[in-house]
Chain A
């Protein structure tokens, strides 16, 4: 790859005393000026900065968290009493389908992407990801896809076939509204976002590490996110096939799932779950990574068994490809298939157990500090283990035959997804908030946030174990007193408890938003509020646009920790004495700032290309002409993108008339 250009120093543009500003001499091939603003909405809409993109991923994901939560609230309101009348059967089907789709695809995955986008370059000492414009494309594609799916509510109703959308139930005769089409097309769109993001982040981690940052010196979050990206890379195409087959079935008369023509419904199930099982690891591994960062910091101890944590993460990613049919135990696979998958499913509990052991031993003997982030991390260990235990009972195929399609399964996956994924994400929010936004969240409100969420989740999902084993099926829009049973196992009682728990949980989530609001004008946070260990903390809070004034050279795992603390022990005995504060480490880097720093320039094309996709999707549902229009937009934007150099030419930057340094040129600093 060619170097762009030799920077020409232009002292006239340099701010007083600051590093010299570089203008890049080159000609523009495009016809339009590049967007170059650094403030205002344009600075966000056209940005290619991974940090801004990460923040936008997070904000949009949280918005969808609220949407999915409201959908859950309606479900629980319907089930709080016998013969519920809040939702009709049809609306109920839409509600649980959209709740799950929103939570999995539009909240948890993008929230993990938010952390991955923001933190990976910082954790490996890079200034951005490998393909900044592709990064922007991922973000806007996700936003477009998420909004597109949700427009179904206003255009005939949401998808109603369950988030796993089993065919032929999801075919037109049984799901006549456009809801399933919105779902299929929307997930195809968000799938592009995930796949592109996966390629981007894998190349970033493999190729853009700071000097000295070998793979086994990378922070665990980066490792887990890397495994997650590989899972996305290989799993997304499989659901893509399934989605296209369903799309063609519903819209163009294909017969893939027409049983009368000889189709086998299990085809859908295989394709979906070959994606679907790696998907659950895609959900939980980033949370595991976050917890592996938080626990050492607040135990004042390094992560126990770093190589084991790395390899068990890779093992989970690997073995996770061999267990998908445990979602199909009751579908008539036959005893041999079922046995093979049952054994594989039992095996995958092992690497997860390794992690739990390592986390526990990290805390053992440490000087524990129970900050909110730490509470969420410990909460994950406990709640995820509970979910894992019910998971192990599912792996025993005969008992799963009783459990399947009951609330026992609902209990399991909410404990692992919420207790695992969501708690981990909240730990990350509290842990990294000062770095990202430059202010501390309130610990007091944070602890209330935590306790209401924990109590709420256990009240909501705990009783579901009982409900399930007592026979309450999934996806039933109401229950009756006649079938509710008596005594301790009265389904009515536990349904009510679960619904009240939902309110407690929602209040807990509300407290998080209260926390954000109340601290929005808080004083600036210190550079290193937690006395942390990894590279992303060797930056200002928030980091500058170019992340590091000087690319750090890495000498050890937990580089930041080792710069602050020197080992003054002898032999095997380690004793750490503080030799520098976090601020001093950062200031030293600033003092040795690089003279020339290039950043890629913002661009219109990712946003335009992203917008073309829902247009094409509406075309499939409503009018073929829209497909042509969207297609032209897509092709045009791809050409525009290809013709555009990644750094805008000098001529796109206007020096301000009053002679002050241009805020636009500041991008070059």
Chain B
């Protein structure tokens, strides 16, 4: 165990300046997100979830489903963009993933439409 720690410390490069022109696994390390930001985002997600649950108990008629869907979408995008780091990574990853999401949305919504699901 101690040998392992010693080896890793000999390789540690924390704090070393990084040449911004070198791609680093697609990360933009200069703007990397600190831990405290992640915690704040997690708290925001918690609050949003609580809000969602609260709304589901309220009687706001036709506004309920859209507002739930919007909150769901915000949570979805937040986890993708920040926790999965898609906002800061190479745009190729974004494009690939969004293609999957949008394609799934398209084909399944169209299929449900033919079932007259949304009427």
| Chain A residues near B (Cβ < 8 Å) | 1, 206, 234, 238, 264, 266, 270-271, 274, 321-322, 324-325, 333-334, 337
Contact = CB atoms under 8 A, between A and B. Distances in A.
B103 A234 contact: yes
Interface residues of B, number: 13
Contacts of A337: 113-114
B4 interface: no
A270 B103 contact: no
Contact of B114 (A1, A238, A321, A333): A333
Contact of A321 (B25, B106, B116): B106
A334 B114 contact: yes
Contact of A270 (B106, B111, B116): B111
B29 to A, nearest CB: 15
A266 B111 CA distance: 9
Contact of B107 (A1, A206, A238, A334): A238
Interface string B83-95: 0000000001000
Contacts of B103: 234, 321
A264 B114 CA distance: 12
A322 B102 CA distance: 13
Interface of B: 25, 92, 99-100, 103, 106-107, 110-111, 113-116
B12 to A, nearest CB: 14
Nearest to B103: A234
Given A234-B100, A321-B103, A321-B106, A274 B114 contact: no
B8 to A, nearest CB: 13
Contacts of A234: 99-100, 103
A274 B115 contact: no
Given A238-B107, A274-B107, A321-B106, A266 B115 contact: yes
12 contacts: A238-B107, A264-B115, A266-B114, A270-B111, A271-B111, A274-B107, A274-B111, A321-B103, A321-B106, A322-B106, A322-B110, A337-B113
A-side interface mostly: helix
Q: Which of B25, B106, B107, B116 gathers most chain A CB within 10 Å? A: B107
B-side interface mostly: helix
B7 to A, nearest CB: 13
A148 B92 CA distance: 38
A274 B111 CA distance: 9
Contacts of B111: 270-271, 274
Nearest to B114: A337
B94 to A, nearest CB: 14
A274 B104 CA distance: 10
Given A321-B106, A322-B106, A334-B116, 18 more contacts: A206-B92, A234-B99, A234-B103, A238-B107, A264-B115, A266-B114, A270-B111, A270-B114, A271-B111, A274-B107, A274-B111, A321-B107, A322-B110, A324-B107, A325-B114, A333-B114, A337-B113, A337-B114
A572 B10 CA distance: 61
Nearest to A234: B103
B103 to A, nearest CB: 6
A10 B92 CA distance: 41
Nearest to A2: B11
A270 B103 CA distance: 15
B80 to A, nearest CB: 18
Contacts of B99: 234
Contacts of A274: 107, 111
A336 to B, nearest CB: 9
A234 B25 CA distance: 25
Contacts of B106: 321-322
Contacts of B116: 334
Shortest 7 CB-CB contacts between residues of A and residues of B? A270-B111, A337-B114, A274-B107, A333-B114, A234-B103, A321-B103, A321-B107
Contacts of B114: 266, 270, 325, 333-334, 337
Nearest to A275: B107
Nearest to B106: A321
A325 B114 CA distance: 10
Nearest to A206: B92
A234 B98 CA distance: 12
Contacts of B115: 264, 266
Nearest to B25: A1
A334 B110 CA distance: 13
Nearest to B107: A274
A264 B106 CA distance: 20
Nearest to A271: B111
Contacts of A322: 106, 110
Contacts of A264: 115
A1 to B, nearest CB: 8
Contacts of B100: 234
Contacts of A324: 107
A19 to B, nearest CB: 30
A337 B99 CA distance: 24
A322 B103 CA distance: 10
Nearest to A264: B115
A545 B105 CA distance: 44
Nearest to A334: B114
Contacts of A238: 107
Nearest to B116: A334
A334 B112 CA distance: 13
Q: Which of B25, B100, B110, B113 gathers most chain A CB within 10 Å? A: B110
Contacts of B110: 322
Contacts of A325: 114
A206 B90 CA distance: 13
A270 B106 CA distance: 13
Contacts of B25: 1
A231 to B, nearest CB: 11
A116 B90 CA distance: 27
A264 B115 CA distance: 9
A615 B86 CA distance: 39
A385 B113 CA distance: 33
A163 to B, nearest CB: 21
Contacts of A270: 111, 114
